[in-house]
Amino acid sequence: MANTTMNTQDAVSANFAECFVTLNNTRYSMLMAKEFEGKASITTAEVPRLGSVVIGHKAQTVVLSFSMTIYKCTEIFDDIMDQFIQTGVMPTFDIQVSNEDPSTSVGRSTKIFTNCVLDGDVMLSMFNAEGEFVEQSIEGFCDSYTRPEKYTNPSYM
């Protein structure tokens, strides 16, 4: 068997990314985003089986969620809160995230998270006498996602 190892240049650097939020048909470049993570959390159920002491498991549901930390130099998420408070309707939005590190051989990956809804706290105001940066954590859920661009597997796989 050939002794191959991963090409270290294929470790994708997380800072070669871009993020966009589309809200009310307006697409915003989220250049103030510091961190983003989209997750699929799978829930399984136990499946007891006759004739076996091993309990099996079967996937049941998936929860799609996201979290994002931004420097608070936009109030588009405050606008969502205002609309929700004034109308009782929480506006949904889409988030597009792409990663493309030019030093790798794997190319570009893009995910579009659709029908996102906020969950948890939305910081409306803050200050800090020590002069820290104003950062905001945004969390929520989405109904679906698509993958219009996928990394290609490295040739050594």
Q: For residue 105, what is the DSSP state?
A: S
CA–CA gap between residue 124 and residue 128 (Å, rounded): 14
With contact defined as beta carbons under 8 Å apart, do 149 and 110 qualify? yes
Q: Quick check: 2 pLDDT over 80? A: no
* In a domain? residue 157: no
Residue type (1 letter), 121: D
pLDDT higher than threshold 70 for residue 3: no
Whether 25 is in a domain gets the answer yes
What is the number of domains present in the chain?
A: 1
d(CA 78, CA 109): 30
Residue 156 lies in a domain: no
Give the CA radius of gyration of the chain. 20
Q: Nearest-CA neighbor of 80 among 111, 31, 124?
A: 124
Question: Exposed (0-12), middle (13-18) or buried (19+): which is 70, by Cβ within 10 Å?
Answer: buried
**pLDDT tens by residue, 8-47:** 999 999 999 999 999 999 999 999 999 999 999 999 999 9
- Tokens 């506006």, residue located: 91
pLDDT in tens, 107-149: 999 999 999 999 999 999 988 888 889 999 999 999 999 999 9
Distance CA 78, CA 104 (A): 38
Closest CA to 46 of 54, 37, 55: 55
The verdict on residue 1 lying in a domain is: no
Q: Which domain holds residue 63?
A: 8-149
Q: Is residue 155 part of a domain?
A: no
pTM score, two decimals? 0.90
Q: Is residue 74 part of a domain?
A: yes
Residue 142's CATH number: 2.30.110.40
Answer whether residue 133 is part of any domain.
yes
pLDDT at 1 over 70: no
Residue 100 in domain = yes
